[in-house]
Structure 1
Amino acid sequence: MVLNLKGLGKIEIGLLDYLLIFVPVAVYLELTHGSGTYIFAASAISIIPLAAIMGKATEHLTEKLGPGLGGFLNATFGNAAELIIAIIAIKEGMFSVVKASITGSIIGNILLVLGLSFLAGGLKQKSLKFNATAANLNSTMLILSTSGLVVPAVIHSLLKNQSITNAAIDGLNNTISLAIAIVLFTTYVFSLVFSLKSHKHLYGAADEEAEGHKGAEGWSTGKSLSVLLAATVGISFMSEFLVKSLESATKSLGMNEVFVGVIVVALVGNAAEHSTAIFMALKNKMDVSVSIAIGSSSQVAMFLAPIMVFLSYFIGPAPMDLSFTALETLSIVFSVLLVNFISADGQTHWMEGVQLLALYVILGIAYFFIY
């Protein structure tokens, strides 16, 4: 379906866009002080199409501005929904939810998204092949980035066994986390230079995919910016509704905040990106699918997590550290190890997708029952 809007031209309506009906539903429920559970559900569902629209606008804007600035925009807006949700949560001092959503995004991308991509693509093709060099580079970057999230947890555990006051431990955790956040963010900037400038030939498959879109009718810069701004504003309001109704919804549904952060919030924030990776796998474009899944996890650890630490010093009630719980730490380690084993040879099949999904379900069960 195509709408012709005055000043914005033609806008194609996809299946996800029909979920926009939940935006006014969420607004109505919020204004009428409706059930927290219903507000949470409506706002969560409404974020999915808004994130998809934001991704579409960013893609069209990238075509106009070139790969350099386009890469920065994709890095910024690719995880924009999660970023906005996390910002609202930080303002409310809900650091456990923020950390849980970071964990959920990492394991969700490399277990759920990659698992579904391998399963979907493998059911159509006996063997799926992708660029092993690019995949190994992404996997190595993933190990580096997640180590920055694991080290503070290990240090925190070691300090608790010594005769140090809790205040001193918290202060040291904040200092270490800030230093690690700076290192991760700096490394992320260098990785952008590597992938977009000096060694962009290693990501040729992604470039070919971009070339395939150039024949399509693109949006103007003004239209892209207008749609991007409108989607961002919409996500901001829906994210605020989501966070404020979180406590009420979790109590009503019998779920804990960590489970909601790891599973629900992460799924909502990445839904549009998830669907793209699976769709590419169905078309046997595994380089793009693997790049989206593994690259997004690295981006969360090296870009999103440090930004959250930096922002907490300005908008949070206290600085946020990168000390994750033992289960979150183990989840990240196991997930990264499994995906590295699977992606090392540059080919896969549907059974490896099942293995990734099995670990995701196992971790989901643990989060649901332990907290």
Structure 2
Amino acid sequence: MPTSEHSPLLPNGSRRPSQPSFLTKVSSAIKAEGEPSYAASFKFFVFGSWLNVFLLFIPLSFISHHLNWDAALRFSFSFIAIIPLAKLLGTATEQMSSKLGQTLAGLMNASFGNAVEIIVGIAALLQDQLVIVQNSMLGSILSNILLVLGCSFIAAGSREHESNFQVTAAQASSSLMTLACITLIIPAAYNTIKSSHDIPSLFSTASDVVSATDLQTGVNPDRWDGLLIISRGTAVLLLGVYILYLYFQLRSHAYLFQAQEEGDVEEAQMNLVSAGISLAAVTVITSFCADYLVASIEEFADRYHIPKPFIGLILLPIVANAAEHVTSVWMAMKGQMELTIGICVGSSIQIAAFVVPLLVIVGWISHHELTLFFANFETITFFVSVFLVNTLIQDGKSNYMEGVMLITLYLVIALAFWVS
């Protein structure tokens, strides 16, 4: 039988297998066999949670900002828009982590686990809203180790009288949290020794200090230079310690954290490329909404007599950590207390040992003289919070009463910042 010149027979009489096209090769290279399709991935990303209904506030945030609507509308629209964006950032990171190795997953969580805090912090820093930087970072730490952990203990207590978790891993994490607390206290101690007065802000600019040298703070430029050196040097050291902590947790002493890996592994709902594209897009959109939110805070606070420290300490962290709040409480209700401790304390470690030092370095590069100086009130608040958390988790057990204690301290701190 004659053979087509385009379909030559092989020696055994079979046809030569057709070669895959270039597009097929590219597609198989970027999406592994068996992964969800791009349509299914983006459908899950957009429609996977009822919280995504609030994405409708994103265009309202853009419109209200550019048309200069009332400050309350600009603030509210941007505030609400960030809630689903925070959830989507967590979803994209989780989907990417499920496809990567353990080490890369840890780096992903370190980079994007607190992406909203980083974006809000940088936006506020570049707009010289240093009080907002101060309170949003401190508030993020406190909301995780007091509010979220407290709610998780109560949720677990509703399931059983007493919950147990891997105490060694929890203590290792809380020890690093204590180190971060101590290193952030040292600049305040240095200033207390060098001056008989207190600087009223956690992060201040040199110009602010110099202008109030004689009348308010009593701090001269020489002392401010010392605070800058301490803060920048500490920031570099903390970043180094945090990188070593990742290696400690993921590689050299991973067996200490193995309890956190137990449980069923959920099947990925997105392929790797779709998750990466979604993560990048949401990060860009979040940066705009965060910028609009920060730009409206001062006018909103002044017009409606809401203390700016309360906005930064209470409202912004709750929004920025929305995804972690839900995940932590849900894991506690399922009895996965090791994962709950890892989320709450681990996120606080990321902020204290990674995000805050990163913002100091970004300020150093961008000529915004950001320091690690805590005023006395913030220093005491931070210290007693870390002390209470360490006290409660050192026995490896939790109950609903411990959760009530944590939330009570958080409410007292919120009340104090409301009247400050």
TM-score (norm. length: structure 1): 0.94
Cα 1:6/1:345, change in 2 over 3 Å = closer
Instruction: Tell me how far apart the structure 2 counterparts of residues 165 and 85 of structure 1 sit (CA, whole Å).
Output: 29
- Indicate the residue corresponding to 2:373 in structure 1: 323
Kept after mapping to 2: 8 A contact 1:90/1:315: no
- Indicate the residue corresponding to 1:234 in structure 2: 285
Instruction: Tell me how far apart the structure 2 counterparts of residues 7 and 271 of structure 1 sit (CA, whole Å).
Output: 25
Q: Which of 87, 91, 97 is the matching residue for 1:52? A: 87
- Indicate the residue corresponding to 1:253 in structure 2: 304
Q: Which range moved further: 154-163 or 331-340?
A: 154-163
What is the one-letter code of the residue matched to 1:168?
Answer: D
What is the one-letter code of the residue matched to 1:166?
Answer: N
Q: Which of 75, 81, 95 is the matching residue for 2:116? A: 81
Structure 1 residue 288 corresponds to structure 2 residue 346: no
Q: Which range moved further: 266-275 or 157-166?
A: 157-166
- Indicate the residue corresponding to 2:28 in structure 1: none
Structure 1 residue 205 corresponds to structure 2 residue 259: yes
Instruction: Tell me how far apart the structure 2 counterparts of residues 165 and 339 of structure 1 sit (CA, whole Å).
Output: 34
Kept after mapping to 2: 8 A contact 1:111/1:360: yes
What is the one-letter code of the residue matched to 2:404?
Answer: V
2:43 is paired with a residue whose SS is strand
Kept after mapping to 2: 8 A contact 1:118/1:349: yes
- Indicate the residue corresponding to 1:10 in structure 2: 43
1:10 is paired with a residue whose SS is helix
- Indicate the residue corresponding to 2:182 in structure 1: 147
The gaps in structure 2 that reach 5 residues or longer are 1-36, 198-213
- Indicate the residue corresponding to 1:191 in structure 2: 245
Kept after mapping to 1: 8 A contact 2:38/2:271: no
Kept after mapping to 2: 8 A contact 1:100/1:328: no
What is the one-letter code of the residue matched to 1:145?
Answer: A
- Indicate the residue corresponding to 2:22 in structure 1: none
Structure 1 residue 69 corresponds to structure 2 residue 127: no
Deviation for aligned residue 1:302? 0.3
- Indicate the residue corresponding to 2:173 in structure 1: 138
Deviation for aligned residue 1:13? 2.2
What is the one-letter code of the residue matched to 1:121?
Answer: A
Q: Which of 259, 278, 287 is the matching residue for 2:329? A: 278
Tell me how many residue pairs correspond in the alignment.
363
Structure 1 residue 120 corresponds to structure 2 residue 155: yes
Percentage of matched positions with identical amino acids: 34
Deviation for aligned residue 1:9? 4.7
Alignment RMSD: 1.7
- Indicate the residue corresponding to 2:67 in structure 1: 32
Kept after mapping to 1: 8 A contact 2:170/2:342: yes
Kept after mapping to 2: 8 A contact 1:134/1:202: yes
Cα 1:292/1:76, change in 2 over 3 Å = same
- Indicate the residue corresponding to 1:169 in structure 2: 223
Structure with more helix by fraction: 1
Instruction: Tell me how far apart the structure 2 counterparts of residues 39 and 9 of structure 1 sit (CA, whole Å).
Output: 29
Kept after mapping to 2: 8 A contact 1:111/1:356: yes
- Indicate the residue corresponding to 1:219 in structure 2: 270
Kept after mapping to 1: 8 A contact 2:144/2:347: yes
Q: Which of 389, 399, 407 is the matching residue for 1:339? A: 389
The gaps in structure 1 that reach 5 residues or longer are none
Deviation for aligned residue 1:245? 0.3
Deviation for aligned residue 1:261? 1.1
- Indicate the residue corresponding to 2:200 in structure 1: none
Deviation for aligned residue 1:86? 0.4
Instruction: Say which one has the larger Rg.
Output: 2
What is the one-letter code of the residue matched to 1:167?
Answer: P
Instruction: Tell me how far apart the structure 2 counterparts of residues 169 and 250 of structure 1 sit (CA, whole Å).
Output: 32
Deviation for aligned residue 1:205? 2.5
- Indicate the residue corresponding to 1:243 in structure 2: 294
Instruction: Tell me how far apart the structure 2 counterparts of residues 23 and 105 of structure 1 sit (CA, whole Å).
Output: 23
2:99 is paired with a residue whose SS is helix
Deviation for aligned residue 1:65? 2.3
Instruction: Tell me how far apart the structure 1 counterparts of residues 103 and 189 of structure 2 sit (CA, whole Å).
Output: 37
Instruction: Tell me how far apart the structure 1 counterparts of residues 247 and 219 of structure 2 sit (CA, whole Å).
Output: 43
Instruction: Tell me how far apart the structure 2 counterparts of residues 5 and 202 of structure 1 sit (CA, whole Å).
Output: 37
Instruction: Tell me how far apart the structure 2 counterparts of residues 352 and 284 of structure 1 sit (CA, whole Å).
Output: 16
Instruction: Tell me how far apart the structure 2 counterparts of residues 325 and 37 of structure 1 sit (CA, whole Å).
Output: 30
Kept after mapping to 1: 8 A contact 2:146/2:409: yes
Deviation for aligned residue 1:253? 2.8
Q: Which range moved further: 295-304 or 256-265?
A: 256-265
Cα 1:63/1:168, change in 2 over 3 Å = same
What is the one-letter code of the residue matched to 2:144?
Answer: N
